Structure 1
Amino acid sequence: MKYKDYYAVMGVPRAATDAQIKTAHRKLARKFHPDLNKDADAEARFKEVGEAYQVLKDPEKRAAFDALGTGLKDGDEIRPRPDVGDGFEYRGGGDPQDTQDTEDFFSDLFNARARHASRPRAPEWPGEDHHASVSVSLEDIYNGAKRTFTLQMPVIDDQGHVTYQTRTLDVSIPKGILDGQRLRLAGQGGAGIGNAPRGDLYLEVTLDGHQRYSVDGRDVSINVPLAPWEAALGAEVVVPTPAGQVTVTVPGGSAAGRRLRLRGRGIPGNPPGDFYVVLGIVLPPADTDAAKAAYSAMRAAFDFDPRAHFYG
């Protein structure tokens, strides 16, 4: 994704009000309209101004653009953080013509797709659905949990500046929900018009990275180090899992990289995933005379060439 400084395109400061942005758009749109301006780049500038205006006139899109920070230049490659939309609430709905050029851009920023359905033309309008991204831990997904999240909703104040309304929600994380799935909170979205009901709030679940486990769908893996004699002779090893510790039997003669499957001990579901213990072998250091003597004894005891088939 290539960065465009929409404020520079519009010729307004980052703190510009909604009214200043509208005024700048009217002026530039007239200046570069292809019917009024015959310069070779007029049409391109006209489209660029329109694209910038679609972003800066909308509080959610403008807040997302501002979240990229400062210091970027036109043409810089944008690589948004995975959590750039975390805890940030935004509306669904709107005119599809207003979002066509920037839909993919803002989907990437929020790790979610906003719906673009036109509002019904009726005296009573149901409230808009809202969307947000929330981070949960692997332990929460394994066991279920109740968590409190703080969300921010960007709005335009009376002076035309983007501000944030903050609210706190107590949310039940269901056991077995997966990364990318959504939680629906009925009636927690935008207010309806007239007697129409409120919209819903959809929370997209983002799984926190874990220093111990790796996740693939519902399967979970962990790397477990073994001493050489445990791998060679077999051993009973206590292994942590997100649901608690389990004792795993390591067969004798196990090599590094061997995967031991614990069926059904992955992320809960129907069916549940599996839990994999990936074996590694760690050599004790030869940092004492006794340790060096032990290694020398092993060398003498085994007629073993680890590279016997290396060149054949």
Structure 2
Amino acid sequence: MDYKDYYKILGVPRTATADEIKRAYRKLAREFHPDKNKAKGAEDKFKEINEANEVLGDEKKRQAYDSLGANYRGGGSGFQPPPGWNFGGGGRGRRGHAGADPGDFSDFFSTLFGGGGMGGGGFGGGGFGGPPEDTRARISISLEDSYNGANRAISLSNGRNLNVKIPKGITSGQTIRLSEQGSNGGNLLLEIEFAAHPQFKVEGRDISCNVNLAPWEAALGTKLPVPTLGGTVELNLPAGTQGGKKMRLKGRGLPGTTPGDQFITLQIVTPPAATDEDRKFYEDMSAHFKFDARA
């Protein structure tokens, strides 16, 4: 039988870290998985990749394999383990891919490790129950997170915690891609949705809100404080402003190559006539103004 250079199969140096081996395996597994790659020889290549990962991705098997030495061949095609070889790796190992069985591994592997390399578990505890697949989920953020950019901690169903960077100007329905954080080493795709906001509504990059006015502010004009995602701004409101008037603050929506705008609808709010004095004031107003609001 031939000696197997598992490092060469995965395309990594013998000094590769566990993370480098994991990344190399995931990349090659995606490329050669028989469900996706129908080229001749892809399935054999996939089995070879899984075998290499079964050894290099397991600390005890890797140590045993490395003990052979970088140039060990044991007679080329007539490979035999060194005299006295006895792998004490503790029986069954990890399952390299869905549906694997001992027949998927070479005679070289069986000679070194006894042919019982299949088992449960997965790489690094994450599991390889099948080919790498993209996993989709939703994440709810505030409008302020989009406006300013943010970092959010999220917990995955497998107990892992991730820190997610929320880019400035991201909008509802857009996706954040986290490489190799999905099922079996696929990608995790987080679809953005906005949490309900107490002041603003959003459409695309534009936001809108209502701003209340007292009757005298509308009649006499005023410097009107208006909330925006970037802080409060003052608008010079002319005398005689009517309720329902719409105004636009250009570029005050969500950031982007073309920033969104903020749209404001003015609403006149009438103070309640809670006392006799209040009612008398309104009666005097009614007598003073010959005004029909429904005319």
- Measured in 1, the distance between the counterparts of 2:233 and 2:294 equals 36
Q: 2:181 aligns with which of 167, 179, 188?
A: 188
Gaps of 5+ in 2: 1-34, 50-130
Alignment of 1:1-312 (within 5 A): 118-121=35-38, 122=42, 123-124=45-46, 127-152=132-157, 165-191=158-184, 198-308=185-295
Range that drifts further, 267-276 or 180-189:
180-189
The code of the aligned residue for 1:301 comes to: H
Deviation (angstroms), 1:287:
1.5
Gaps of 5+ in 1: 1-117, 153-164, 192-197
Secondary structure of the corresponding residue to residue 166 of structure 1: coil
Structure 1 runs of 4+ off > 4 angstroms?
none
What residue in structure 1 maps to residue 82 of structure 2? none
Cα contact 2:208–2:263 (8 A) shared by 1: yes
TM-score (norm 2): 0.55
Secondary structure of the corresponding residue to residue 241 of structure 1: coil
Cα contact 2:140–2:194 (8 A) shared by 1: yes
The code of the aligned residue for 1:141 comes to: S
- Measured in 2, the distance between the counterparts of 1:273 and 1:249 equals 22
Question: Which deviations, in whole Å up to 9, do the C-alpha atoms of 1:146-182 show, x marking residues without a partner?
Answer: 0001122xxxxxxxxxxxx222110000000000100
Deviation (angstroms), 1:242:
2.0
Deviation (angstroms), 1:279:
0.6
Identity, % of aligned positions = 49
- Measured in 2, the distance between the counterparts of 1:213 and 1:127 equals 40
- Measured in 1, the distance between the counterparts of 2:256 and 2:224 equals 27
Select the structure with the greater relative contact order (CA < 8 A; seq sep ≥ 6).
1
TM-score (norm 1): 0.52
Aligned CA-pair RMSD: 2.0
- Measured in 2, the distance between the counterparts of 1:183 and 1:243 equals 24
Deviation (angstroms), 1:290:
2.2
Secondary structure of the corresponding residue to residue 304 of structure 1: coil
- Measured in 1, the distance between the counterparts of 2:292 and 2:196 equals 40
- Measured in 2, the distance between the counterparts of 1:239 and 1:151 equals 39
- Measured in 2, the distance between the counterparts of 1:170 and 1:189 equals 15
